[in-house]
Amino acid sequence: MRTEAERRPARGIRTRLPVSPWLFLAPGLLITGGFTLYPFLSTVARSFTDARTLTAGRFTGGANYRELVHDPVFWTALRNSLLYVAGVVPPLVVLPLLLALLVQRQVPGIAFFRAAFYTPVVASVVVTGLIWVWLLDDRGLVNAVLSALGSGRAGFLSDPWLLLGSAMAVTVWKGLGYYMIVYLAALARVPRELHEACAVDGAGAVRRFLTVTVPAVRPTMVLVAALAAVNACRVFSEVYLLAGPGGGPGGEDTTLVMLVQQAGTGLSGRTGYASALSVVVFVLTLGLMLLVLRADRTADR
């Protein structure tokens, strides 16, 4: 065995950290710093100015934040964003799991259904939005079916609440296939012996799902909930395509990201105020992620 003196580095010899790991990390760090960290810090700094679209602006302290607190449009957008999260996250946690259980079965033609369920994910959001506008229009296919059934036409694109619900449906429909693939990867790691043991004990399909499948894929469910919450909080395309630039009738369906776009664009765009709104979106997104993780830790106790 080596003595303590032998294990000590010789005097005058400096131990150097390896350089090669930093060389491999350098490109990623430069890209992250240039395209993520710098824009974020720049946005935070600009939120304390009265900057316009093409001007630097002067420092105004927390004037932008005080203004948005007293802006009723901001509170409407915040309400809609929170409602969007509450309406989108639960279906995107549960429905893709059930869909993954369905397509997990090895039956003839199952590959076709997997591809069909995943098609909305790779389709352009503009194309899918236009399709849903055509379906939900006052003279669209859905209202034609409702009229044929004698229930009358519904204002999916004119009623504020129906429009927001329709945008939620588009988001859920478009995200089902993506999260289905995530759940398929998690289900592939669940030992089949556990299901067989429960079946021997007389457990039915529902009981096996609750006692074996759900605990096994629970970390994936937390991941899906966090991703769905972040994406729902940043929703823009679905509501914009269904409601138009103004955010629906009277702007009642405007979300936070739509409000950022409205405030920061145009010839007289207020980029300082839009930056303050962007910081609020970031804080809200971070808070939702922390809330999901805290709920998961609380359930473990």
The residue-averaged pLDDT of 159-169 equals: 90
Q: Which two tokens stand for residue 34?
A: 């240039």
| Per-residue pLDDT tens over the stretch 71-81 | 999 999 999 99
Percent of the chain with pLDDT over 70: 89
| Angstrom distance (rounded) from CA 198 to CA 206 | 11
DSSP designation for 250: G
What pTM value is reported for the model?
A: 0.83
> Is residue 10 pLDDT above 60, yes or no?
no
> Is residue 263 pLDDT above 80, yes or no?
yes
pLDDT at 267: 63
Question: Which residue has 């409602």 as its token pair?
Answer: 83
Q: How far is CA 297 from CA 182, 228, 292, in A?
A: 21, 19, 9
| Angstrom distance (rounded) from CA 27 to CA 24 | 7
pLDDT at 78: 93
| Per-residue pLDDT tens over the stretch 186-197 | 988 888 887 778
> Which CATH fold topology does 63-300 show?
MetI-like fold (1.10.3720)
**212-245 exposure pattern, b = at least 16 Cβ within 10 A, e = fewer:** bbeebbeebbbbbbbbbbbbbbbbebbbbbbbee
Closest CA to 226 of 88, 119, 125, 37: 88
Q: Which two tokens stand for residue 39?
A: 């824009």
Closest CA to 234 of 265, 259, 266: 259
User: Domain boundaries in the chain?
Assistant: 63-300
CB 96 within 8 A of CB 182: yes
Closest CA to 222 of 297, 121, 282: 297
pLDDT at 220: 92
118-132, 185-199, 208-222: segment of lowest average pLDDT: 185-199
Neighbours of 26 (CB within 10 A): 10
CA angle 217, 220, 221 (to 5 degrees): 85
* Amino acid present at 210: L
Neighbours of 257 (CB within 10 A): 20
Q: How far is CA 230 from CA 210, 259, 277, in A?
A: 27, 17, 16
| Per-residue pLDDT tens over the stretch 96-109 | 999 998 888 777 77
> Is residue 287 pLDDT above 60, yes or no?
yes
